[in-house]
Structure 1
Amino acid sequence: MTPTPPPLRLSELHGSLTDPVLDAMNFLNEVVGRFPEAISFAPGRPTEGDFEPEDLARHLATYTRYLEEERGWSRDRIRTQLFQYGRTNGIIHELIARTVAHDEGIEVPPEAVVVTTGCQEGMLLTLRALFARPEDTLLVSSPCYVGITGAARLLGIRVRPVPEGPDGPDPEAVRAAAQAARAAGERPRAFYVVPDFANPTGTSMTTADRERLLDVAAAEDLLILEDDPYGFFVRTGEARPTLKALDRERRVVHLGSFAKTALPGARVGYVLADQEVLGEDGRRSLLADELSKIKSMTTVNTSAVSQAVIGGLLVEAGCRLREANAGTIAYYRTAMDTLLGELERHFPADRRAELGISWNRPDGGFFVVVTVPFAADHKALELSARAYGVLWTPMQDFHLDGGGTHQLRLSCSAQTPERITEGMARLAAFVTDQLEARP
């Protein structure tokens, strides 16, 4: 009989594997899988909208025609482009540069675009390149998307939270956090922020605060890591300029993704990294070139087939994704209006004041945060899923400082108005029962 090998000791594996941030994501995925019949307000997944399987072949054919007819490529060159390993920084960088110029007024050369395997890889590459010293510290708006804090934990990067207000992070709070970091012997290197309809809170920065944040970044010698997956999806008011569109000193590294605006299954993201890098020998390059070196040692290159599908979609849209997303924008607007309306219907002003329940009213995006007078933890989520058939996300998983214990996040992006109405009735029953069960 072959002897059973001794188990690996968790204590001898990387310390991030015992970090609650990594456990939180796995727990949520596990709960969703165990209760497939529950109505889920948990994941921030986009709607499948009008997706059809045959669309993939059409997008691919469109991109092939684009290379042949607009770029003048031979079939042999096109074959190599699609079937072989490709350029590390990506093959659709020119189309992406054209698209962000049309949609956001962001002017960067195609050479400053790094095409990544989802935005998550873009975060990893950027953090690995920028954080070189043990004292380097990442400032993050808190509560914060667990993808960035998890990536920082994997890389052993210190994270310092910046409290978020009703309009996102206060630039003066960013300044105070940078100065506190220096006083503690740290080097504040960059600040991560989702300025539009942030995950998890749904907050958005005013245009004035965006301008002030750029001023603070210059004064404190910070880079800004701008993550902008939700900016298209405005519910009320007008779209606000991205930080990168306002950037005059190349302070902003812009992290983008086509998961919410195009096709999540393609797993294509990008980084706009036009910062100049000066070598010890006087050689000058772009930060994008340095990210490419790291990418060559991780994913080598982003799937050429996935890029071609996204490239074809961009060509079909005339490199104007905001216009192409008009139907999706309307869908998310209706979903958010329905969610907020159902909260109001089940908990009118006098009742919610009596019960101690409140929620924010985002101007767009996917997420609403509800505050309740009981512990909205993993145990409560399990009960909600099992006994009431409704899922949500505990906000405590997004806090770095122990907050959010009495808050839950609702995402309305993947549900129809009818399912939102039914799900909110189930959630109202769960919340009401928890309140009545209190001592």
Structure 2
Amino acid sequence: MGDSTAPATRAARALDLTELHASLTDPVLDAMNFLNEVVSRFPEALSFAPGRPSEGTFATDDPARYLRTYTDHLKYELGWSEDRVRAQLFQYGRTNGIIHDLIARTLANDESIHVSPESVVVTTGCQEAMLLTLRALFARPEDTLLVSSPCYVGITGAARLLDIALCPVQEGATGPDPKAILAGVRQTRAAGGRPRALYVVPDFANPSGASMTVAAREQLLEIAAQEDLLILEDDPYGFFVREGSSRPTLKALDRERRVLHLGSFAKTAMPGARVGYVVADQEVIGPAGERTLLADQLSKIKSMTTVNTSAISQAVIGGLLIESDCRLRAANADAIAFYRTNLNTLLDELERHFPAARRRELGVDWNRPDGGFFLVVTVPFLADTKALEHSARNFGVLWTPMSDFYLDGGGSTQLRLSCSALTPEQIRDGVSRLAAFITGQASRAGR
């Protein structure tokens, strides 16, 4: 028999979205979820959307081998006991990370960035490095982050989560123009803001593929010193040169510790490990005159967020670095050649389907990056989510709307293509499908 004394069921109270954090209604935070949803709905479509690395160079037994290499390093090279090695792997560990020394050595070898291991904070992916850095540096409501426009949504999304004011700086063919950055600094001050830092991807930026010249990098550092501006340098793609030679990072050129260097092993090693880092070698002076590194201050924040980065993930990356003699650029030689071939194939196929006369007739064009994973195609129609769904359903090809990367309403007739996760054969097939889509849309737009 039923219990007549049971309380009556009441409808659950729904939460009001307007009473949650304002960032949850920001289109930037929806962009990634929408793209993932479209990819899952059209699994047979060839996708130029994700900026992830190719899986072709990964072997399933690599993580176990790297882990063994790291533990052997601790036992036989550093002389650690079995108990100490066990604690290193199975316990929480040092907040700032356990492979900071290997990362510092690798940065010296690959990038001529010479910093103490204590200035390196090992993070759960580069996204955490961004969050820690933004939270530490932006203390006042008027503190403003300058960003390139277009800009990677990870940094703009993180800034919005933290209620940090943003000032977009228009990007040119060779990345952000130092003069435009200076104008952005002065515009921010005139509006009552405090220009605190600039976020920049100097090599083969996501989403545009643009790269700064060495002269522009030097000029940017001069402006940073002149205007008391910090630089957040994100450099995930610098190894992957298509033409010419690699350029020095901003951190390698930095003489006044103006640059915080954000890094990741997602593109150069193993994205599934979720290991990144930030080089924060700036000195911090306390109220009693005590001196610490900014890395130590970031550690305080990390201890209240992720506590520490997975020791197992760090050990796997550590073993990879040891096997490569802490020379990750040389270890990526095959990957560099693969991505170079892919980007050349993408450019060649676009040229084949849209020769100069046809480009002029349709109003189609694209940039030609010197490396990296991305390029941008300009089209004569609205390249929005509706067009993306039409492209996926009827032509079997995916791409990313560029409007997601702009803070100031740009990119409405542009789409980003990423060639990193495809084979050359898939790129050729994908561009053929894309060309059919673009031609059809252009015809509908009256071109």
Q: TM-score, normalised by structure 1?
A: 0.99
Question: What is the Cα deviation at residue 53 of structure 1?
Answer: 1.2
Deviation at 1:2, TM superposition (A): 2.8
Quick check: 49-58 or 323-332, which moved more?
Answer: 49-58
Aligned position for 1:139? 146
Q: 1:85: which partner in 2?
A: 92
CA shift, 1:436, in A, is: 1.4
Match of 2:368 among 361, 365, 371: 361
Instruction: Report the number of matched residues.
Output: 439
Does the 8 Å CA contact 2:54/2:422 hold for their aligned counterparts?
A: yes
The CA distance in 2 between the partners of 1:204 and 1:373, in whole Å, is 26
Counterpart among 334, 349, 367 of residue 327 in structure 1:
334
Q: Which residue of 2 aligns with 1:274?
A: 281
Look up the match of 1:436. Answer: 443
* 1:288-437 alignment, distance < 5 Å: 288-437=295-444
For residue 223 of structure 2, what is the aligned residue in structure 1?
A: 216
Structure 1 partner of 2:5: none
- Residue 64 of structure 1: aligned partner: 71
1:122 aligns with 2:122: no
Deviations 1:205-244 (A, max 9, x none): 0000000000000011000000000000000000000000
Q: 1:72 Cα shift?
A: 1.0
Q: Deviations over 1:69-118 (max 9, x none)?
A: 11111110000000011100000000000000000000000000000000
Q: Counterpart of 2:437 in 1: which secondary structure?
A: helix
Determine if the alignment matches structure 1 residue 253 to structure 2 residue 260: yes
CA distance in 2, matches of 1:63, 1:260: 21
User: Which amino acid counterpart does residue 436 of structure 1 have in structure 2?
Assistant: S
Instruction: For 2:124 and 2:424, locate their aligned partners in 1 and report how far apart those are by CA, in whole Å.
Output: 32
Residue 48 (structure 1) aligned with residue 55 (structure 2):
yes
CA distance in 1, matches of 2:212, 2:59: 36
CA RMSD of aligned residues (A): 0.6
The amino acid across from 1:61 in the alignment is: R
Match of 1:190 in 2: 197
Question: What are the superposed Cα offsets for residues 27-63 of structure 1, whole Å, 9 maximum, x if unpaired?
Answer: 1111111111100000100011321111110000000
Q: Which residue of 1 aligns with 2:46?
A: 39
**3-state SS in 1 of match to 2:207:** coil
**C-alpha contact (below 8 Å) 1:395/1:404 kept by paired residues:** yes
CA contact (8 A) 1:49 1:328 kept: no
**What stretches of structure 1 of length at least 5 have no aligned partner?**
none
Structure 1 residues 43-52 or 355-364, which shifts more?
43-52
Taking the aligned partners of 1:10 and 1:286, their CA distance within structure 2 comes to: 40
- 2:364 and 2:235 map into 1 onto residues whose CA distance is 30
Q: Secondary structure at the match of 1:285?
A: strand
Q: Deviations over 1:272-321 (max 9, x none)?
A: 00000000111100000000000000000000000000000000000000
* Secondary structure of 2:156 counterpart: helix
In the alignment, is the contact (CA less than 8 A) between 2:343 and 2:371 conserved in 1?
A: yes
Counterpart check, 1:178 vs 2:182: no
Specify the SS of the correspondent of 1:53.
coil
Q: Counterparts of 2:279 and 2:383 in 1: how far apart (Å)?
A: 38
Match of 1:15 in 2: 22
Distance in 2 of aligned mates of 1:63 and 1:334: 33
Which one has the largest radius of gyration?
2
Give the distance between the partners of 1:381 and 1:412, measured in 2 at CA: 17
- Aligned residues of 2:380 and 2:445 also touching (Cα < 8 A): no
CA distance in 2 between counterparts of 1:437 and 1:55 reads 50
CA distance in structure 2 between the partners assigned to 1:218 and 1:232 by the alignment: 27
Contact 1:175 1:216 in 2 (8 A): yes
Moved over 6 A (4+): none
Distance (whole Å) between structure 2 residues aligned to residue 272 and residue 96 of structure 1: 10
SS in 2 for 1:339: helix
